Each structure stands twice: as structure tokens, then as C-alpha cells.
Copies of this chain bind each other. A is one copy, B any other.
Amino acid sequence: MFESAELGQTIDKQTFEEQVPALREALLQAQYELKSQSRFPVLILINGIEGAGKGETVKLLNEWMDPRMIVVRTFDWPSDEELAHPPAWRYWRELPPKGKIGIFFGNWYSQMLHRRVDGQLDDTELDQSIDYALAMEQMLCDEGGLIFKFWFHLSKKRMKARLKELKNDPLHSWKISPLDWQQSKTYDRFVRYGERVVQRSSRNFSPWYVIEGSDHRYRSLTVGRILLDGLQAALKVNTRRLLQPHAAPLVDTSNNCKLLESLDLSQAIDKKAYVEQLTAEQARLSMLLRHKHMRKHALVAAFEGNDAAGKGSTIRRVAAALDPRQYRIVPIGVPTDEELAQPYLWRFWRHVPALGRFTIFDRSWYGRVLVERVEGFAEPADWLRAYAEINDFEETLTRSGIVLVKFWLAIDKQTQYERFKARENTPFKRFKITEDDWRNREKWDQYVDAVGDMVDRTSTSFAPWTLVEANDKHFARVKVLRTINDALEKAFEKD
């Protein structure tokens, strides 16, 4: 496949010098338009053969364009903070915000290729890695992002010649690393797996461009033109392209009602049993978090529920079990402008705990399919795709050892009414009840639908929902703590 690019394409000096000024001006103008629209980010992935001009081309792009609006990142050896997080974390933390261009060297494709060439992955695992990468890219594009993937190619003969040439050039010999020499030995394997990766990960939303790398004028001009065409096309579309909602219809909403109705909200626990069981579960959590197996895991607990269902007080009972140095509570409210400049899940990724740590989300990434859906803050196409994105996100977390527990605290309409009234009548709790709460309450049935769909579509084997009957706060607190403890124990048993 790559051989088809091996026609030794060249561009002569005169043509190059004639064409560069206009291309450069157009690229700069597109870049300023990108910045002034600040509607979407651009991500450029750089891969391919060593010596095929990857670095030189990116250097030239930085010269042609305004380097102040380009962020170039290279992902070589991960830091210990990165190693303590899911592998995708290091890419998320470096994603370019809307209006900027990010260029990623040593990205996920480089990592998987190196590991396949080294024999750390087999073909099936390589294909799986490709699927994960595509899910990430699909999400970025669905969020409006523009992706370019460039594979810089050289034939084996040319690659060896290039390395030799560099070696003999005292000014540039530092450019060749031991890795490059190694690649000259593993060239055949590298190209074979490279072809597999490129073939399997080309999509309309993030196509590969294979660039013949031997002629510097050809490769520079070609990359520049591809970028310009893509940028101009994306900048012209003034409204965000809205996707087709996913094909699968939502479940019959009558089932949703049944789901929540089937909960036996009358479940309760007497005071004495509560104190005993709560204390026992708190002690258990405290021990489990200090267990040596915890070093290979992290814990994430996400709390959702009806207004006044007792999320806050339940979270406090969980926290009370622990030394405050052991957990972080992340309340999810209005996103900051830095968060709004990133894909939806970015604001949650930044709080994903390192190994050994515990993060509690007070409301979570499910806001998109709950409040944003019901209030119309998100387009149907956006919240409909969120189910799959959330499942991917949660699988990514659990795959790297994070134990994830998700709670829906359910109360009935009458209990909510009583709690709202009680809040209004307690001077000290009055700040906890606003007009908004009463307005939300009018949408009770819509929330029932939204919760039903959410539980139906995001209850997975790796991250099941726990519905918590919360009319009785004591019952709810014990159930939450016990669920967390059971999940941790189960994870430790598998180790």
C-alpha cells in the first residue's frame, strides 16, 4: 500500500518558490480565521518512518504559519504522573482548545506501533488499540474537531541512504537517535504494521494522508495544501455540523417509568441498625483504601439523583470514613471557559484520580443526558451520542484498574415535596432551595424518562448503575457505602 506512494514524487525549486508565498498567506489567514471563530480545534497527528521529514515538515509549518497559535507536543517517555493514570490521560491533558492547532508527535499510533514491532502486542491487540484510537477520534470530531493524520513514508533503500547521509553530516548527526538505527533493522516489520494501522484507521472523519517523504519540496507543499483545503472547508461551514442521532431508537419510555417505579422506596432501616452498619461500612472502606492492592487501582464514585435525594449528606458519610488526604470531592457545576473550549468529557478527565487515589464526583458526566437533555442545553444529536462516549470513557477508566461506582439516588415526588418545604422552613437550609428546584420539579416526568434511558444505555458490565432507594436517608447511606466496599473487594479478589 505504501509502495504506491513510492513514485519518487518531486517538485522542482522554481515551482516551489512560486507556490509557497500564496500558500503561506492563505494558511496564515485560515489560522487567524480559526482563532477568531474559536469554534473548533485542529489536531494534526504526525507518524511514519524516521528520516522521512516529519520534524522538518512540522518546523516548516511553524515557519509558514503563526507559531503562537500552534502547540506542538511530543509524547516520549511518560512521567510518573502520567504512568499513574489511564494511558489516554496524557493526550487529554494536552488537547488543543478551540481556535488552536495541536500537532502530536509520538501519539497513540506511534505507541501502538512500537509495541507491536517489539512484540508486546499481537495483531488482535493492535486492532483493539486501533479501535480505541478511533473511538477517541470519532468523539473529537463529533465535538467539532478537525483531524489530519499524516504518514511520512520512505522506502527502505531511501531510509538507509538518508540515515547514512545524516551520519556523515557533522551538523546534523545528532538528529539520529539509537531508535532510528533500530528502526532501520525493523523497517520491514514497522512498515507491515504501519500499513495495517493506516488501513484500519482511515475514516471519513479522520483520514490518513500518506506523504512520500524523500523530496522536501514535494512533502512540504503537499502537507501545506492538504491542511489549507481542510481548514478552509471547515471554516466555511458556519454552523456546527450536526450528526444524525444514533440509529437505535430510545427505549419505550413506559419501561423507564417501570424501572424507577419498581424500586421499593419504602425500604428503611432503624436508627440502631443504621449506626452499627454505617460504622462498620465506614471502617471497612477505610481499611480497603489502605489495602496494598489499592496501589494497582483507583476509585471513582459518581453521584446523581433527584434534587433533595441526599447526595450531599451521603457524600459526607463516605468522606467521614476517611482521612481528608485520601479523597477529593469534585462538585460539578457550570463549566469554566477553559472547559468550554474542550470536548465535553475533558472537564472530567482532568479530575481522574491517580492510582491509589479516590475521587468523588458530586454530579458527573451524566449531566449531558440528564439536565442538558431535559432543559434543552444540548442538541438531541449531542446527548444521543453521549451514551456511547460515556461508555467508552468508563471502559477506558476501568481498563486501567479504576474501580467505578455510579449511584442514582431515587426519592418519590411526595418525599421531595416534603424536603423542599422543610428546607424553606429551616433558616439555615434556605439557601439550599431555589426557584430552580421548584421548576425542575415540574419536569419530573421528563427526568424519569431521562434516567430510564441513562440506566438502560450506560449500565455496563464494567460500570453498572446502582439505584439507591433514598426515601430513607439512612438506608441510602448504608447501601452506598456497602456498594463501594463490595466493588473494591471484588476488584481486589481478581488481582
Contact = CB atoms under 8 A, between A and B. Distances in A.
Q: How many copies does the complex hold?
A: 2
A152 to B, nearest CB: 15
Contacts of A103: 324
Contacts of A431: 32
A223 interface: no
A79 interface: yes
A72 B25 contact: no
A30 B312 CA distance: 18
Interface string A39-67: 00000000000000001001100110011
A73 B336 CA distance: 22
A428 B174 CA distance: 39
Q: Does more than half of chain A's interface fall in helix, strand or loop, or is it mixed?
A: helix
Given A67-B315, A336-B338, A337-B337, 14 more contacts: A25-B428, A55-B325, A59-B323, A63-B316, A66-B312, A67-B316, A67-B324, A67-B329, A72-B325, A73-B325, A74-B325, A80-B80, A80-B81, A174-B290
Nearest to A28: B428
Q: Shortest 4 CB-CB distances between A and B: which pairs?
A: A72-B324, A68-B331, A74-B325, A68-B329
A319 to B, nearest CB: 5
A196 interface: no
Interface in A153-172: 171
A484 to B, nearest CB: 16
Interface in A313-356: 315-316, 319-320, 322-325, 328-329, 331, 336-338
A390 interface: no
Contact of A81 (B29, B79, B316): B79
A331 B69 contact: yes
A307 interface: no
Contacts of A316: 63, 66-67
A135 interface: no
A227 interface: no
B331 A70 contact: no
Given A79-B81, A323-B59, A68 B362 contact: yes
A219 to B, nearest CB: 16
A34 B397 CA distance: 34
A100 to B, nearest CB: 10
A342 to B, nearest CB: 12
A318 to B, nearest CB: 10
Contacts of A328: 71-72
B66 A324 contact: no
A105 interface: yes
